[in-house]
Amino acid sequence: MRKTLLTVLMAAVLLALPAMGAATISIINNDGAGVGLNDPTVVPQVGTNPHTTLGAQRLYALQHAVGVWAAKLDSSVTIVVRASFEPLTCTATAAVLGSAGAIEVFRDFSGASFAGTWYPGALADKLFGSSISPGSDDIRARFNRDLGGANCLPGSPFYLGTDNSIPSGQVDFVAVALHELAHGLGFQTFTNGSTGALFAGFPAVWDHFLFGTSTGLTWSNMTDTQRAASAISLSQLVWNGTSVNSVAGQVLNAGPNFKLTLPASIASNNVDLGIAQFGAPLNTTGVLGEIMPVAAQPASIGNACEPLNATNVLAVNGKIALIDRGGCTFLIKVKNAQNAGAIGVVIANNAAGLLNMTGVDATVTIPSVMISQAAGNALKTALLGRSRTRSGVFARLLLDSTTPAGTDNFGRVKMYAPTTFASGSSVSHFDTTAFPNLLMEPAINVGLTQVVDLPNDLTFRLLKDIGW
């Protein structure tokens, strides 16, 4: 329950001040006396957090996260976050850190950019120009007040400093708060990704930008069946908003690309790759070479599973070897190709999907990648006219700044769509191939910077796409 009106008003006024920016975000302290954000327990000062009581430290860290968002967002309507620290589900080895989300959604209001579309309350208010639902809060955010205590991941409390210097074993509260608040601001769909069913019969604004590359449709234009398939389509789910995609290369590093360069008729990027743990890491110069396949050898257990015979050595020496998956480890195949003089290896999968290739052998020094079965078949077709030593098909294996890590062949940022639907993670996060790590990947990874916009992150740009 919300506290008394007096408390609410005081909290709103007092807590809004530090968060003033392009937008005003008020925190409603929803905790009772002596607990949560009001906990008077004296604690050591931590990081750049100046306070020495637990409640005040929590509040300061939350205000810091809110302030980051307030400085970026643009709205004439105050965004109200109802916040609390409560006992949430815990064990000795796992805990709910917190939860957040929009309290209400709206559709078909004046100022909405899409008709028949759900918007989270804070965004709806911004677009409408005033509070559509005066007196209602916009976002509820709860955090686990027992974290780090006995029976609740003991020894791993929230780190309440705001200096991004998180001690090992502690949980960065600011990162968690920034992430959860983003969801509350609209970084999520309300559509059921598992079944494809729209929420109460209408798409979320998110769905107008979620794009299936296999269908060429946004989620807002798909059937339930198409949406459910798209949610587990791996690299075939991308964000189709210009605010994000136009600047992705400013945030994300160059990504791996098996770039077909000649003949011109097949020139293309291929960024859907499995990456090898062994061999030379890809770099921005890359390895350019003619592609030649390794032919089947008599009595072989699998393509390139034995030392290559003279015919194959003649074919792949100085070339990029194309090898079919199967029969032995990837490491053996690449080592045999290297011994035959190949300068790189492309493994064509023999089944659907892609694998990253593991193995350890310091003597393997050439780069290798895996391509999909379909890409392999297309490449083999292009190689049909080859001689014993020449194919006329050239490619470069490289880290390519034109295809940043976490984008597709067309530079669109990929969204998380693993082949098994993961509630809460799938569809409503950036894909994990993004690098450096982004705030809104399904897991909060190391290396985050408390920055939600360029040059470190794409989260704010995505929110701009949906209307912020």
Partner 1 sequence: MKINWMAGLTALGLAVCLAEEPKKAAESKVKQGGQPGMVIVKTPDGGLRAPTAEEYQVLTGQGGANLRSTAAPQQEVLGGGKGVRLALDPAVTEVFSVVTKGPDGKLVMQEAVGAKAAERLVKAGAPGKDKQEAAQ
Q: Which residues inside 248-307 make contact with partner 1, applying CB under 8 A? A: 253-254, 256, 273-277, 281-284
3-state secondary structure of 61: helix
Rounded Cα gap, residues 25 and 70, in angstroms: 6
Residue 128 binds partner 1, judged by CB under 8 A: yes
The interface with partner 1 within residues 364-423 (CB under 8 A) comprises 370, 399, 405, 418-423
Rounded Cα gap, residues 143 and 65, in angstroms: 13
Give the residue among 296, 293, 297, 300 at the shortest CA–CA distance from 389: 293
3-state secondary structure of 255: strand
Nearer to partner 1 (CB atom), residue 244 or residue 434: 434
Residue 44 binds partner 1, judged by CB under 8 A: no
Q: Shortest gap between Cβ of 329 and partner 1 (angstroms)?
A: 5
Q: Shortest gap between Cβ of 274 and partner 1 (angstroms)?
A: 7
Q: Shortest gap between Cβ of 190 and partner 1 (angstroms)?
A: 7
Q: Shortest gap between Cβ of 406 and partner 1 (angstroms)?
A: 9
Nearer to partner 1 (CB atom), residue 64 or residue 227: 227
Out of 34, 50, 169, 385, name the contact with partner 1 by CB under 8 A. 169
Looking at residue 3, what DSSP letter applies? Answer: -
Residue 172 contacts by C-beta under 8 Å, 6 or more apart in sequence?
Answer: 158, 159, 164, 166, 444, 448
Which value, to the nearest 10 degrees, does the dihedral of the CA atoms of residues 158, 159, 162, 165 take?
-140
Rounded Cα gap, residues 139 and 80, in angstroms: 6
Q: Shortest gap between Cβ of 385 and partner 1 (angstroms)?
A: 30
Q: Shortest gap between Cβ of 283 and partner 1 (angstroms)?
A: 7
Out of 85, 190, 219, 239, name the contact with partner 1 by CB under 8 A. 190
Give the residue among 198, 227, 36 at the shortest CA–CA distance from 105: 198
Nearer to partner 1 (CB atom), residue 345 or residue 393: 345
The interface with partner 1 within residues 319-358 (CB under 8 A) comprises 325-331, 353-358
Out of 10, 14, 33, 197, name the contact with partner 1 by CB under 8 A. 197
3-state secondary structure of 58: helix
The interface with partner 1 within residues 54-113 (CB under 8 A) comprises 89-91, 93-110, 112
Q: How many residues does the chain have?
A: 468
Nearer to partner 1 (CB atom), residue 377 or residue 419: 419
Stretch in the footprint of partner 1 (CB under 8 A) among 17-25, 173-181, 288-296, 380-388:
173-181
Give the count of residues interacting with partner 1 (CB under 8 A): 100
Residue 447 binds partner 1, judged by CB under 8 A: yes
Nearer to partner 1 (CB atom), residue 186 or residue 212: 186
Within 10 angstroms of residue 434's Cβ, the number of other Cβ atoms is 26
In angstroms, the Cα distances linking 262 to 290, 295, 322, 367 are 9, 22, 16, 20
Structure tokens at 240: 């189709």
The interface with partner 1 within residues 136-165 (CB under 8 A) comprises 140, 153, 156
Out of 37, 132, 178, 205, name the contact with partner 1 by CB under 8 A. 132
Q: Shortest gap between Cβ of 323 and partner 1 (angstroms)?
A: 12
Structure tokens at 182: 């983003």
Instruction: Give the chain's end-to-end CA distance (angstroms, integer).
Output: 29
Looking at residue 413, what DSSP letter applies? Answer: B
The position carrying tokens 């028949």 is 116
